[in-house]
Structure 1
Amino acid sequence: MSAKLKTLLEIADGSFNQLDACRETLRQLESLLWTLKTELGESRIGRLAAIGAYVALDRGDLVEADLGHWREQLEALEVSE
């Protein structure tokens, strides 16, 4: 494996780790917002908290799916080298 490819793989791996942390933060935000929604009920703020929870959940799912796809591509690249 060339030094450049090894460096690129290390950068990609570090980036994936950061995106994992982002995904986890989105999950925690979703949980917090859902708790607020539960406590506040059907008030305006409660409904806004529910919307925020759904957005955090959706974005977390997208990040998780993208990460899985990118990791598969990276593993295929590593195997081919």
Structure 2
Amino acid sequence: MVTNAVVCWHTEYMGLAVGELRAAGREVDAEVLARISPVRSSVVNYYGSITVDYERELAQLNDQGHRSLRTAATDESGVGL
């Protein structure tokens, strides 16, 4: 059940990211989107346990209940969209 919740989370945020790219005038090809899966991600942990600091996570939510999308300017790893 937790894996399904993570996949739903990824689906929601992938949609938000695509919407933000399109709003910024970037073309996002539907054929490319058809081949992207929210399941194929390094953060989907199928076999281990996860520890979550709920208070910290909830503090990061905006008025719509979403976290801010990462951008090249905010991504700590230095990897942009």
Q: Which has the higher contact order (CA 8 A, sep 6+)?
A: 1
Which structure carries more helix by proportion?
Answer: 1
Q: Higher Cα Rg: structure 1 or 2?
A: 1
Q: TM-score, normalised by structure 1?
A: 0.32
Q: TM-score, normalised by structure 2?
A: 0.32
